[in-house]
Structure 1
Amino acid sequence: MHLNLLKLFLLLAPLMVGCTTQPKAPNIIYILADDMGYGDIKALNANSQIPTPNLDQLVNEGIAFTDAHSNSAVCTPTRYGTLTGQYAFRSRLKSGVLVGHEPALIEPNTSTVASLLKAANYQTACVGKWHLGLNWAKKDTMQPLFHGGNLWDIFHTENVNYAARVSGGPCDLGFDYSFIIPASLDIAPYVYLENDQATAAVNRQVPFYKDESARGIWYRRGDVAEDFDHTTVLQTLTQKALDFIANRNEEQPFFLYFPLTSPHTPWFPSEEFAGKSQAGVYGDFVAMTDDVVGQIMQSLDNAGIADNTLIIFTSDNGSHWLPSDVEQFNHRANGPFSGMKSDVWEGGHRVPMIARWPEAIKAGVRSNTQVSSTDLMATCAELTGQSTPESACDSYSFLAALTGKESAQNDDKVMVHHSVNGTFAIRKGDWKLIDAKGSGGWSLPEGKCTDSPDQQLYNMHTDSSEQHNLYNEYPEIVKELNVLLETYKTGNEAR
């Protein structure tokens, strides 16, 4: 009798162990393109004039969200929302973006995706464009950081101590390692910061630069470090990301936040990519961006960790692609959507979002689940068995949609959109209300709208290109959405 019980235990023991063993946590790589549109990717837009074989592969091997949004139509607020899980209009930044010498936007002790994952034993790294402000040290603490002038045109900040460590950056917000540039590639200061310390002396200035051969080849004047070359920044950042993956601690999962500098201006595709696209220099830079994604994918294959690595690729807002560019190149960078970067119209914030995780995500899936960039925090919390931080009040997990355990449930989904000038829009289910006559951005400034209704209402299921304003036809929906929007603006919405 006892012998039979022992045999039964030995037979069941492996199964019992299997039931209690937790699956290994996936590595997470979040690649954030800069000013790249939904229509740039060939697999999402058959008429794209740009070859994107690596992103096409991601689409084919994972899931593509067709109704994904950046929480803002410009970069700084989107980055804030991505890392904190809350809309940036809840911070001090109510419109626009930061420039290179402005103080840190994320308050000390704020929970970030990095701090959340670090608590789950992840290695965390940030490589790329920061653009969330930094607390620069002063040479003379009794004097201001700079004297007068337009923040966008500070030529030389004599009181900035570039040799000192900056605070308020990635390493103060949960990242174990960081290698960043402070802002966009066209905003000074032009300096690499590794673990919040400049990698070279900043002792010279560059003048305003513009190449007349294409509209996107320019950058502002300002301080520049000895080791900084605008034309090779994307390559430098890519190598740092590859080095992090290669030198990771194999005993821990890792989180790599990889915000690219491309294809934002200045457009500097390397010689290898010149003429790769049929969409001019911008298209060539997008093709180079696609190659960066390919290098990351190849590094995972080389390390033998591709199967249990979740890669998410998205963009911080829509492309800054003008109507004249569409006419010249027959390329719609923002796909079928109205507007562009800056706008509260869809082209400003409807972005590509692609995810691959071979161990958990089925290949070749298209999902119409509504997703916002603020949702990364809650998704990572659920993935690691943690609670979403209370401060991440605008973050909702889309893990079930990622892994195919739940179909789209969009009827009650609420998202708030925000434009460069601070214009609001709110989306609930299929309905979108814009609190303006125009685009809220550069496409159609408010002053140019004369005979339009005060607001815009669109049914996004039947009119995602926003051609038919239904404001006068559905007053009850307008009223409901205005009340709901006001609760978000005042912070009184129920979670």
Structure 2
Amino acid sequence: MKRFLMLCVILLVQFSVLQSHAAEKPPNIILILTDDQGWSQMSQVADPRVPEAVSVYLETPNMVRLAKSGMQFTSGYSPAPLCTPTRRSILCGSATARCGSEFKSDWVPADHMTIPKALKMANPKYRCAHFGKWGEQMISTPEECGYDVSDGMTGNVTGGMPNSLGVKGGHDDGPPHFIDNKDPKRTRTVTDRAIDFMQTQNSAEHPFYVQVSYYAQHLSVVCTQEMLEKYQNKGTPDRGYPPAWAAMMEDLDNGVGRLLDTIKELKIDDNTYVFFTADNGGRGTVPGGDQSRLETNHPLTGAKHSLYEGGIRVPFLATGPEIPADTVCHTPVVGYDFLPTFYQLAGGENAERKLTQDVDGTSLYPLFKNADQPLAARKNNALYFHRPNRSFSALRQGDYKLMLFWKPDGSVRSHELYDLSHNPTESGRDLSESNPAKAEEMQATLLSFLESVDAEKPTDFKAKRKPKQQKARQN
């Protein structure tokens, strides 16, 4: 009897050690980044408080599955209203006012903190991969930024976008460029490579980070014949989408589903985080669409290239072992928050000391525990957006948003103030005259930040000068 009891004690201790070891195992992290996907371009309502923010024509069951299994951020933002600046910002955890607001920038990501570098600093065992679209005119290669495996210096053409679209080469001329194949927008290939990487690292017992940057929904419009026929038979689209474009979205959704299925098959769902977002809001025009009623970001104002909500508010989802299922968070978050979030999830400590001052993001981890709280660590409770080449900047601070407009000489032309808790669509109710003190306070905060990071000015683009070189600054 004593031997039996002793054996039970030994087994219990061993089991406890194994449990402790499992708990200490660094988590796997997957970031899914889509292209040109608007806030309401899912069959999941983007915000329960805005019931019209959903498409009844599009079918994205796997994005819905992802949202239901974790947390949906109703005020999730891309760092910029266009491609490469967002990708550079996510990579380095820096606001685009700091790391470059346009495709071309003197900012060299390899010289700064990056997601792979941060993860390996937290735990050297991490293996990191990037598959899909890297970005147009990015200076550094993925490997120079710390990735172990990648598809290289890829861009829109890699994803099947011809150099010219439409009859006369304009992006919005002519019919949709439909090409029937089994790998539309390289979605299958990109997903295959990500799955192979996940399987390899899991077999080797390495924690992994993989960023899957899909080429869809960027132009041109490409889908499978099977999916095209499905949407052609669905009737009239609800937002002026062409059936081929809707089909491309569901082909993309199938890629997301394969990634989620692989996590289950590998039995790593208890130690894997998945994040999902887009590089900017939906396009204002889509080849082959009904432009008279095209609303890719309905009901938001604006579209890609704009700093109104339609250009930067995007799908933003997260699921993982410490994230409660089917929860909604209204706290504003942004793509440059991923780097410090991943660093903390990987076990990184003392982020304020170990991450450089160039990291403007804030870890989202506290929101996983309490979705209703503001992020206390976010300085000034502020999200910054800057696009001087289009003569505007923006600041989101709590429920308020300031739009600032520039004169060509770099001085302030005007500003607009919105309370997004009551007016998420920015539908004409400018509060800058009725609440001038709030508008001036937010403008001062925005201008102070832009000056502190030596942000580009409208005059830099008018004179065709490159922005000043930013240097990495260590604490």
TM-score where L is the length of structure 1? 0.74
CA contact (8 A) 1:71 1:81 kept: yes
| Residues 141-156 of structure 1 aligned to structure 2 (within 5 Å) | none
Q: Which residue of 1 aligns with 2:198?
A: 245
What's the offset of the Cα at 1:13? 5.1
Residue in 2 aligned with 1:90?
A: 98
Match of 1:58 among 66, 77, 84: 66
SS in 2 for 1:38: coil
More helix by share: 2
Measure, in 2, the Cα distance between the counterparts of 1:406 and 1:336. Answer: 24
Work out the CA distance in 2 between the residues paired with 1:369 and 1:481. Answer: 18
The one-letter code matched in structure 2 to 1:259 is S
2:164 — aligned with what? 208
Moved more, 58-67 or 274-283: 274-283
In structure 1, list runs of 5 or more residues that go unmatched.
1-5, 136-167, 193-205, 220-228, 438-445, 448-452
Report how far residue 404 of structure 1 moved: 2.7
Q: Which of 256, 264, 269 is the equivalent residue of 1:306?
A: 269
Specify whether residues 433 and 41 from structure 1 end up closer, same or farther in structure 2 by C-alpha distance, changes over 3 A only. same
Q: Quick one: which of 443, 462, 481 aligns to 2:422?
A: 462
Greater CA deviation, 369-378 or 305-314? 305-314
CA contact (8 A) 1:67 1:368 kept: yes
Report what 1:320 is aligned to: 283
Q: How far did 1:369 drift?
A: 1.5
Q: Contact 1:31–1:313 (CA<8 Å) still a contact in 2? A: yes
Match of 1:171 in 2: 143
Among 209, 212, 219, the alignment partner of 1:255 is 209
- Secondary structure in structure 1 of the residue aligned to 2:274: strand
**What one-letter code is carried by the residue in structure 1 that aligns with 2:127?**
Q
Partner of 1:153: none
Matched-pair contact (CA < 8 Å) for 2:34–2:214: yes
Partner of 1:33: 34
Cα deviation digits, residues 44-97 of structure 1 (max 9, x gap): 244442011111111111111001001111111111110101112213x3x432
Give the gaps of 5 or more residues in structure 2.
Answer: 1-5, 46-52, 232-236, 455-474
Q: Which moved more, 1:124-133 or 1:383-392?
A: 383-392
What residue number does 1:443 align with?
none
What residue in structure 1 maps to residue 234 of structure 2? none
1:273 is the counterpart of 2:227: yes
Distance 1:64 1:478, change over 3 A: same
Shift of the alpha carbon at 1:390?
1.4
Match of 1:416 among 361, 366, 384: 384
Whether contact under 8 Å (1:117, 1:380) holds in the other structure is yes
- Structure 2 distance, partners of 1:397, 1:381, is 8
Counterpart of 1:363?
Answer: 325
- Contact 1:38 1:352 (C-alpha < 8 Å) held by counterparts: yes
**8 Å contact from structure 1 (residues 269, 284) kept in 2:** yes
Question: 375, 399, 404: which one pairs with 2:365?
Answer: 399
- How many Å separate the matches in 2 of 1:399 and 1:261? 28
Query: 1:377 corresponds to which residue?
Result: 339
Kept after mapping to 2: 8 A contact 1:415/1:427: yes
2:156 is matched with 184
Q: Distance in 2 between matches of 1:105 and 1:373?
A: 18
Contact 2:40 2:298 (C-alpha < 8 Å) held by counterparts? yes
Q: Is the 8 A contact 1:81 1:87 kept in 2?
A: yes
Paired position in structure 2 for 1:43: 44
SS in 2 for 1:54: helix
1:329–1:360 CA distance, 2 compared to 1 (3 A): farther
Shift of 1:246: 2.6
AA partner of residue 102 (structure 2): G
In 1, the alpha carbon distance for the partners of 2:359 and 2:200 equals 35
Answer whether contact 1:39 1:48 (CA < 8 A) is retained.
Answer: no
Residue type at the aligned position of 1:65: F
Aligned-residue offset at 1:208: 3.3
Q: Residue 48 of structure 1 contacts residue 331 of structure 1 at CA under 8 Å; is this kept in 2?
A: no
> For the structure 1 residues 426 and 296, does the alpha-carbon distance in structure 2 shift closer, same or farther, using more than 3 Å as the test?
same
Equivalent position SS for 1:458 = strand
Structure 1 position 116 matched with structure 2 position 118 = yes
Q: For 1:234 and 1:8, locate their aligned partners in 2 and report how far apart those are by CA, in whole Å.
A: 51
Contact 1:430–1:461, Cα closer than 8 Å, also in 2: yes
Q: RMSD of the alignment, in Å?
A: 3.5
> 1:216: how far off?
7.6
Note closer, same or farther for the CA distance 1:214–1:378 as it changes in structure 2 (3 Å cut): same
Q: CA deviation at 1:286?
A: 1.2
* Alpha-carbon shift at residue 353 of structure 1 (Å): 0.6
Task: Within 5 Å, give how 1:190-201 maps onto structure 2.
Answer: 190=158
Q: CA deviation at 1:421?
A: 2.2
C-alpha displacement at 1:306, in angstroms?
2.5
2:451 aligns to what?
A: 490
